């Protein structure tokens, strides 16, 4: 719950109780408790409703091809077995705490424009200018639909819904919310259905899909908590500047997971 909201609820409770107590004392009325109930009831309800608004977890692109644990074609550094174990246990802890957990999944057709192999004379990590000032990084072939590399690398049974992105061969889609052509994924709708106001976000890659998803989430008005220990990036310098940018735009940066804090950030 927001601190100002908590303050308002606390203040109302205090004055509600106080005025009921004074009324009961002055009139020596047996109805005092009844009025106290009438005054406090709605606040109690409000507190109950607000306490039910929990953050929703969005695990970004934790997929075989982005991990060294699975010899991925675009393995990020430090994405070993122990990283995946940590992500799975953190995600399970969120699920056990009653949070909804969504995962995004990079899901490209084989002819995707972001693959260096689909451009003559280009190699992975080269860049091309698509249109005025629009620079596209070319990647090794990764996360091709229905291949092992595209599979989620989190323990099964924790994720309540998977949001796929990057299916259009013409556009890349770092953000979990929309592709570079502006076409929206189902993420926003699903978050609205889940009643999300705040999001806990982590995954791969810090400097690409995590960054784009966090920045879009902030733009859409969600509060965002980024757990950096649960993220891995393509390169260290761009990951650090991505974290700085996300913080500047309003994300709450949590380095190591503090479950209690994350539930109420
Ligand atoms: C990603 C590069 C290409 C990511 C996806 O998940 O961050 N990066 N496709
Ligand atoms: Zn991709």
State whether 24 and 79 are in the same domain. no
Question: Is 165 marked active-site?
Answer: yes
State whether 34 and 17 are in the same domain. yes
Q: Is the bond leading into 205 cis (omega within 30 degrees of zero)?
A: yes
Return the pLDDT at 132: 85
State whether 58 and 39 are in the same domain. no
Burial of 168 (0-12, 13-18, 19+ CB in 10 A): middle
- Structural domain for 7, as ranges: 3-51
Return the pLDDT at 45: 73
Let me know: does 75 contact 217? Beta carbons within 8 Å. Answer: no
Pocket test for ligand 1, best of 136, 164, 208 (most atoms within 8 A of CB): 208
For the entire predicted model, the pTM comes to: 0.84
State whether 20 and 73 are in the same domain. no
State whether 70 and 181 are in the same domain. yes
Let me know: does 61 contact 106? Beta carbons within 8 Å. Answer: yes
Cα of 258 vs centre of ligand 2, distance in Å, is 30
Return the pLDDT at 1: 47
State whether 116 and 232 are in the same domain. yes
pLDDT tens, N- to C-terminus, the chain (265 residues): 444 455 555 656 666 666 666 666 666 566 666 666 777 777 767 766 665 689 999 999 999 999 999 999 999 999 999 999 999 999 999 999 999 999 999 999 999 999 999 999 999 999 999 988 899 999 999 999 999 999 999 998 999 999 999 999 999 999 999 999 999 999 999 999 999 999 999 999 999 999 999 999 999 999 999 999 999 999 999 999 999 999 999 999 999 999 999 999 9
Query: Beta-carbon neighbour count of residue 9 at 10 Å?
Result: 16
Final residue belonging to a domain, choices 14, 34, 51: 51
State whether 101 and 19 are in the same domain. no
Return the pLDDT at 3: 47
Question: Is 61 marked active-site?
Answer: yes
State whether 140 and 20 are in the same domain. no
State whether 141 and 220 are in the same domain. yes
Return the pLDDT at 131: 87
State whether 72 and 199 are in the same domain. yes
Q: Rounded to an integer, what distance in angstroms lies between the CA atom of residue 122 and that of residue 190?
A: 38
CA 161 to chain centre: 13
State whether 133 and 82 are in the same domain. yes
Pocket test for ligand 1, best of 62, 72, 74 (most atoms within 8 A of CB): 74
Cβ(106) – ligand 1 distance below 6 Å: yes
State whether 156 and 26 are in the same domain. no
Return the pLDDT at 156: 85
Let me know: does 64 contact 148? Beta carbons within 8 Å. Answer: yes
Final residue belonging to a domain, choices 14, 30, 51: 51
Return the pLDDT at 105: 98
* Cα distances (angstroms) measured from residue 87 to each of 31, 90, 138, 167, 194: 55, 5, 27, 25, 22
Q: What is the CATH number for 189?
A: 3.40.50.850
State both tokens at 40. Answer: 């406090």
* Ligand 1: residue whose CA is nearest its atom 3: 139
Q: What angle do CA 232, 218, 65 make, to 5 degrees?
A: 25
Number of domains composing the chain:
2
């Amino acid at each position: 719950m927001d601190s100002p909201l908590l303050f308002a609820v606390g203040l109302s409770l205090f004055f509600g109780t106080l005025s009921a107590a004074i009324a009961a004392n002055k009139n020596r009325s047996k109805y005092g408790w009844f009025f106290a109930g009438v005054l406090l009831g709605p606040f109690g309800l409000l507190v109950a409703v607000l306490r039910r608004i929990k953050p929703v977890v969005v695990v970004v692109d934790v997929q075989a091809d982005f991990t060294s644990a699975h010899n991925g074609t675009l393995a990020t550094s430090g994405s070993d077995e122990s990283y995946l174990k940590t992500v799975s246990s953190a995600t399970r802890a969120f699920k056990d705490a009653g949070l909804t957990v969504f995962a995004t999944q990079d899901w490209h057709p084989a002819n995707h424009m972001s693959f260096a192999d689909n451009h003559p004379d280009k190699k992975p990590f080269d860049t091309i200018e698509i249109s005025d000032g629009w620079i596209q990084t070319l990647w090794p072939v990764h996360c091709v639909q229905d291949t092992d590399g595209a599979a989620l690398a989190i323990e099964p049974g924790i994720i309540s819904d998977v949001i796929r992105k990057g299916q259009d061969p013409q556009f890349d889609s770092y953000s979990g919310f929309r592709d570079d052509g502006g076409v929206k994924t189902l993420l926003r709708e699903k978050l609205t259905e889940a009643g999300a106001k705040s999001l806990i976000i982590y995954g791969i890659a810090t400097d690409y899909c995590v960054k784009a998803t966090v920045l879009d989430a902030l733009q859409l008005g969600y509060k965002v908590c980024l757990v950096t220990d649960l993220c891995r990036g393509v390169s260290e310098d761009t990951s650090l500047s991505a974290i700085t940018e996300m913080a500047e735009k309003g994300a709450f940066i949590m380095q190591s997971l503090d479950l209690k804090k994350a539930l109420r950030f």
